[in-house]
Amino acid sequence: MRLKFLGCFLAFSVAAPSMAAGLDPQQAKAREIFSRIISYKTEVGQGQVPAMAGYLADQFRAAGFPDADIHILPLGETASLVVRYRGDGTGGKPIALMSHMDVVTAKPEDWQRDPYTLVEENGYFFGRGSYDIKSGVALLTATFLQMKKEGFVPKRDLVIVFTGDEETEGATASDLLNNHRELVNVEFALNSDAGGGTLGEDGKAQIYGLQTAEKTYASFEITARNPGGHSSLPRVDNAIFELTDAVKRLQAHRFPVMWSDTTLASFKASGQVTAGKLGEAMSRFAQDPNDAAAADLLNDTPSEVGRTRTTCIPTLLRGGHADNALPQSATVTVNCRIFPGVAVAVVEKTLQSVVGDKIEVKGIGNPTASDASPLRVDVLAAVTEAVHRVHPGVVIVPVQESGATDGLYFRAAGIPTYGVSGMFIKDSDSFAHGLNERVPVASFYDELVHWQVLVRRISGN
Ligand SMILES: [Zn+2]
């Protein structure tokens, strides 16, 4: 999954360098890989991920990576691919570079172009997965091939981790962490499937988000039950009345204000580029998160409320079974976005105490919670250098996202994970998961530079 991380920033613009005509050999290779992997229909149910992994494995092999360092790990119809780039061991534990090979299902009849053919048109690459996240797969692969070609030796091992079901189950990420830990035993991970930059509608770079945390997605069913009866003989108690009361109590409840170093750094940066009272509140909160007035204003702003606390909100409602019968049950589904570091069970307990013990609260599914990753100085420095190589001076903001990626499983397994995509797009070009998904051609080649700078820097050279 990929979300554009933030909206509503005022221009703090820096011109993007213009693309030279013609492609150099590295760019041509990245484009060739991108084009080939878009053509694999790696949506759920098609079973094409292993074939795509096989194609990529061949690329690594041809570039001189030994078989022993290339692992395809099948899991059901899908697979993950892990490729180790050996370092000289002088720079510490390995680092993972993550992406995923699967895509969200595309219905070709609704697309203007074949979603499984890379089409370059009017300055865009179109294709399912172009943004989420076959561009990341192609660019990380091309970066490894290029470094190998140059004889580059990192100071620590670099481990490519391409999962195969990020959009659906996340089982390949869990499988790697639980059953193949020796392959992914890394100090931290850089994820191409999160973070990234925003271009203004004028095409100029505005801001870059470095993702350090993801909120936990968890839903609950809250149910009032009653013996029911005939509606001509109403009882004092009634499942719908009781559920309504519970929902009203939930509406009045606010989860406590929370923050991490990412929250504070993020509000400090965004406060500087956001106008009016909202910008002021951001700056004040960054300085003193106990400033209740600032926290209240952020709470009342839909784009900001999730950045400072857990939120739980009713999304679905059902109840009763006939228009002449007293309801035997009434249920509301409540969707929570839990602040990093807070256990799902703690939120469930809070919900129970808010709605009262006559009402049932039941979790849905099996959500995974994860902590925020600490803002590492070395990661921030390397990302800043990479971003500024292409977009000098652009503001870099640590962000916590409300969406989730495979980074969630890595963080939950104790591996700090940073979303550091180099892709810059306009908000109006964000079609991840949607129709006619696309990325700007210039941003694709710029991201190749981003990874080449970032990977070299982070591996100690
Ligand atoms: Zn994704």
Rounded distance from Cα 245 to ligand 1 centre (Å): 39
Question: What is d(CA 101, CA 56) in angstroms, rounded to the nearest whole number?
Answer: 10
Rounded distance from Cα 315 to ligand 1 centre (Å): 24
pTM for the model stands at: 0.85
Over residues 214-221, mean pLDDT: 92
Rounded distance from Cα 405 to ligand 1 centre (Å): 6
Rounded distance from Cα 202 to ligand 1 centre (Å): 26
Rounded distance from Cα 285 to ligand 1 centre (Å): 31
Q: Which tokens in the block code for residue 99?
A: 């992406």
Rounded distance from Cα 139 to ligand 1 centre (Å): 15
Rounded distance from Cα 192 to ligand 1 centre (Å): 8
Rounded distance from Cα 42 to ligand 1 centre (Å): 13
Nearest C-alpha neighbor of 366 from the set 331, 412, 307, 330: 412
Is the peptide bond preceding residue 133 cis, with omega within 30 degrees of 0?
A: yes
Statement: residue 17 has pLDDT above 60 = no
8 Å CB contact between 100 and 109: no
Rounded distance from Cα 37 to ligand 1 centre (Å): 15
DSSP 3-state of 172: helix
Question: What is d(CA 168, CA 103) in angstroms, rounded to the nearest whole number?
Answer: 9
- pLDDT score of 12: 34
- pLDDT score of 432: 65
Helix, strand, coil percentages in the chain from 3-state DSSP, rounded to 5: 35, 25, 40
Estimate the crossing angle of helix 441-458 against helix 377-390, to 10 degrees: 140
Q: Which tokens in the block code for residue 258?
A: 């929370």
Q: What is the pLDDT of residues 120-158, one digit of tens each?
A: 999 999 999 999 999 999 999 999 999 999 999 999 999
Q: What is the pLDDT of residues 90-112, one digit of tens each?
A: 989 999 999 999 999 998 888 88
Over residues 69-98, mean pLDDT: 97
DSSP 3-state of 235: coil
The identity of residue 276, as a single letter, is G
Rounded distance from Cα 134 to ligand 1 centre (Å): 9
Rounded distance from Cα 43 to ligand 1 centre (Å): 12
- pLDDT score of 377: 92
Residue 150 phi, psi dihedral angles, 5° rounding? -80, -5
15 DSSP 8-state letter: P
Rounded distance from Cα 217 to ligand 1 centre (Å): 16
Rounded distance from Cα 1 to ligand 1 centre (Å): 3
- pLDDT score of 310: 95
Instruction: Name the residue with tokens 């963080």.
Output: 411
Over residues 348-361, mean pLDDT: 97
Rounded distance from Cα 404 to ligand 1 centre (Å): 9
Rounded distance from Cα 99 to ligand 1 centre (Å): 7
Question: What is d(CA 192, CA 417) in angstroms, rounded to the nearest whole number?
Answer: 10
Question: What is d(CA 24, CA 29) in angstroms, rounded to the nearest whole number?
Answer: 9
Over residues 81-85, mean pLDDT: 98
What percent of the chain stands above pLDDT 70? 94
HSE on the CB side for 426, CA within 13 Å?
13
Rounded distance from Cα 366 to ligand 1 centre (Å): 20
Q: Rg of the chain's alpha carbons, rounded to an integer? A: 24
Statement: residue 50 has pLDDT above 70 = yes
Statement: residue 19 has pLDDT above 80 = no
Rounded distance from Cα 156 to ligand 1 centre (Å): 26
- Of residues 400 and 62, which shows the higher confidence score? 62
Statement: residue 185 has pLDDT above 80 = yes
- pLDDT score of 5: 54
Question: What is d(CA 388, CA 305) in angstroms, rounded to the nearest whole number?
Answer: 30
Statement: residue 63 has pLDDT above 90 = yes
Over residues 415-444, mean pLDDT: 89
- Residue 7, Cβ density class (10 Å: 0-12 exposed, 13-18 middle, ≥19 buried): exposed
Computed over every residue of the chain, the mean pLDDT equals 92
Least confident of 127-141, 203-217, 431-445: 431-445
Rounded distance from Cα 214 to ligand 1 centre (Å): 13
> Residue ranges of the alpha helices (H) in 63-204?
134-149, 171-179
